[in-house]
Chain A
């Protein structure tokens, strides 16, 4: 009886949607969406998805709520200042519709969202403040064959870019039209080719709730593919919230793109954490393999030759360290030569990592007429859940 009443209440809730002949309520109800970034745009994306009745929304963010977020983030309150953004957002968004499952995943999505888990989503939405996270999420979506939506804002404009990788794996990716200056901005966050810069200054982009609201609405619509055909290609929408004008541009795939140029139509993804040696042994020794994360493969002071701390860093992921490790422990000079690479041959990787996979998310091998992706976070091919932080 209670279930019937619940079902009826749900029907009543979406009664107006049922009057829209093109509105796919059943598909929306079944949708699983990953929203990366719980700031202004992320809040608006989740708000719209929850109101529309999306089935499951997982929110990824490592940051905590600050006072200035409250002028733009619809679900955050003053009492949330200092709390994890993802959890604060998810808790309040869940009140919108009890039938919509909203889950917070605290932490950097790169560390909490395995490729196999991403493959279980219908779409991943990037609502983050930097190019690097967007580039990374775009590549994951392109490999996993999951739709990718990128939403951005400034003080006046709202943008949306949609990449329907699930139905159109050969469409342009986010990087096909990314200007060189964006890569320079990413590079400025690192030194020695992969160490985090301690003094890297983040650019602050002034934004308002108005542009966040428009971008969030556009992104939610694109994530659910409302009114779109399966045959659609990649596109960019730019909306002027003052003038009211909008432009829609088709994005063509670019040969030689850093993001998708080597991937072929859809790379084959193989679970390779437990079966690392077996998987890499199946690749010819001289085949080039690119790891998703730059790895430290050499560490020695160019001034005094000291290598005493090499064991702490060599064979580990470069982004786990900052550029202070370039100061030699023996002579105190910033003279340590750190060899950081993300390009190897299969034979080199086996020699460097004989017993375990490299500490990367995945690696891409260009084999034959396609690409092979070795997933280092997955033991088997079954879909996984995001890796939530232990309480």
Chain B
């Protein structure tokens, strides 16, 4: 019960919004852990790199920062975004 109380109920989605979920996450979960769970559960392309953005507050979450340290609040919506490169071949 205490564990449930300390968990954050959040919405998580992909950037193209084809995948959405409501999750209860521990405040000490990191952005990297949430991204990995999204990649695994939604079978997102594993050869792509991802970042996490709190679209409710308009702030990106650092990969190693916890939800609590990033100021994420219950009900916030997190978006898993690809980190894009491409353009041309270079060094």
> Which residues of chain A have C-beta atoms less than 8 A from B81's C-beta?
159, 236, 238, 247
Q: Which 8 A-B pairs have the closest CB atoms?
A: A39-B88, A152-B84, A128-B90, A41-B87, A205-B86, A127-B87, A249-B60, A249-B53
Residues of chain A in range 246-290 having any CB-CB distance to chain B below 8 Å? 247-252, 254
Within the complex, the shortest CB–CB distance from B20 to chain A, in Å, comes to 14
What 17 new A-B contacts, CB under 8 Å, besides A159-B83, A182-B83, A252-B62?
A39-B89, A61-B90, A108-B91, A109-B91, A129-B85, A130-B89, A131-B85, A151-B87, A152-B85, A179-B35, A180-B63, A185-B49, A236-B81, A240-B16, A242-B16, A249-B55, A250-B60
> Which residues of chain B have C-beta atoms less than 8 A from A369's C-beta?
none
**Can you name 26 A-B residue pairings with CB atoms under 8 Å?**
A37-B90, A39-B86, A40-B88, A62-B91, A63-B88, A108-B90, A108-B91, A127-B88, A128-B85, A128-B88, A128-B90, A133-B91, A152-B83, A152-B87, A159-B83, A179-B32, A179-B35, A179-B51, A180-B63, A181-B49, A205-B86, A240-B15, A247-B53, A247-B55, A248-B58, A254-B65
B-side interface residues toward A, CB under 8 Å? 15-17, 32, 35, 47, 49-51, 53-55, 58-60, 62-65, 79, 81-91
Name the interface size band of chain A.
35 or more
Main secondary structure of the interface of A (DSSP, over half): mixed
Taking a contact as CB atoms closer than 8 A, the residue among A154, A157, A249 that contacts B58 in the complex is: A249
How many A-B contacts if CB must be within 8 Å?
144
Given contacts A129-B85, A236-B60, A247-B79, contact A179 B90 (CB under 8 A): no
Q: Is the CB of A152 within 8 A of B86?
A: yes
A-side interface residues toward B, CB under 8 Å? 36-42, 61-63, 69, 85, 108-110, 127-134, 136, 151-154, 156-159, 176-182, 185, 202-203, 205, 207, 212, 215, 236, 238, 240, 242-243, 245, 247-252, 254
